[in-house]
Amino acid sequence: MPKCFFVSDLHGQLDRYEKLFLAIAEERPEMVLLGGDLLPSALTSHSVVDTIHQDFINDFLVIGFAKLRQLMVDAYPRIMLILGNDDGRFDEASILDAATHGIWEYVHDRRLQLGIYSIYGYAYVPPTPFILKDWERYDISRYVDPGCISPEEGWRSRPVSEYEKKYATIKDNLELLVNDDNLERAIFLFHAPPHNTNLDLSPLARQNYDNAPLDPHIGSIAIRNFIETRQPLVTLHGHIHESARLSGGWQDRIGRTYSFTAAHDGPELALIRFDPEYPEQATRELI
């Protein structure tokens, strides 16, 4: 029986969550990891009358997981989550409040333990073409890919300092997060995928910007370098919905590290099941 579930990019779709709740109740994993972009679009909620978003966390997510906890009692799994670039940071307060009531554990920029395994979370992604910048930072430098908007522009639901906008990078954040930790038994819950893998392929192949070819691999160089250098056991990713379809693979391997994406551009829930003791046996099912 797999010990862990991983899902990502559910974007507030009720049917996907109902399928997840049912799978948890039936299979009873020890841990469920949610990799960001969990809520209805934050930008939509602030630009139109959005009755779906109003309080999706408390009116749906908290209730759904609380029912699971009541049903499963001592078998209720550890639920760990981060947000993603389509989730507004204004919702972080509700996420943290539910965490104080034992519904889930918020792991962004933190390390938690599950037995012998260390679980790290990190939500930021490199600059995108999208307006919401709550969860975007420069990657390894202040370079921005053609067609993307820098973290210094766009819109934020929560203010940050000008210094953070200009100088914070994913590279530096990851160094501070792990310090000198031994990552041999570490599982990383990222929203962004690593650059130049099966997990970050976009439809930009054979497209040009100002007569220059665009790189179809739009994942994080900092995360790729981090994996190559520090070699955690498993890394989990989302963000690029089309990647598995375009690349033909939902997993990749960088050195000893197994990397999986649960992002999916179809209507189904993409559910990854894995056992940290045997990551090579991980499976991905579209439900």
Under DSSP, the state recorded for 236 is: E
At 2, is the pLDDT very low, low, confident or very high (cuts 50, 70, 90)?
low
pLDDT at 84: 98
For 98, the 3-state DSSP assignment is helix
pLDDT at 48: 46
pLDDT at 117: 97
For 119-166, write each residue's pLDDT tens digit: 999 999 999 999 999 999 999 999 999 889 999 999 999 999 999 999
pLDDT at 211: 67
Which domains can be identified in the chain, with CATH numbers?
7-286 (3.60.21.10)
Residues 189-218 have a mean pLDDT of 88
At 208, is the pLDDT very low, low, confident or very high (cuts 50, 70, 90)?
confident
Strands (E) across 163-211 are located at 186-190, 208-209
Give every CB contact of residue 23 below 8 A, 6+ residues apart in sequence. Answer: 5, 271, 287
In order, the DSSP letters of 57-78 are IIIIIHHHHHHHHHHHGGGPPE
pTM of the model: 0.94
* CA–CA dist 238, 190 (Å, integer): 7
Whether the CB-CB separation of 202 and 219 falls below 8 Å is answered with no
* CA–CA dist 66, 63 (Å, integer): 5
For 29-75, write each residue's pLDDT tens digit: 999 999 999 999 887 655 444 445 569 999 999 999 999 999 999 99
Give every CB contact of residue 74 below 8 A, 6+ residues apart in sequence. Answer: none
Q: Which of 47, 63, 151, 142 minimizes the C-alpha distance to 103?
A: 63
* CA–CA dist 3, 28 (Å, integer): 8
Residues 242-259 have a mean pLDDT of 98
At 215, is the pLDDT very low, low, confident or very high (cuts 50, 70, 90)?
confident
For 243, the 3-state DSSP assignment is helix
Q: What's the token pair of residue 184?
A: 């041999």
Give every CB contact of residue 161 below 8 A, 6+ residues apart in sequence. Answer: none
Q: Higher confidence at residue 157 or residue 207?
A: 157
Tell the burial category of 212 from Cβ atoms under 10 Å away from its Cβ (0-12, 13-18, 19+): exposed
The mean pLDDT of the chain is 94
- Single-letter amino acid code for the residue at 169: T
Whether the CB-CB separation of 1 and 27 falls below 8 Å is answered with yes
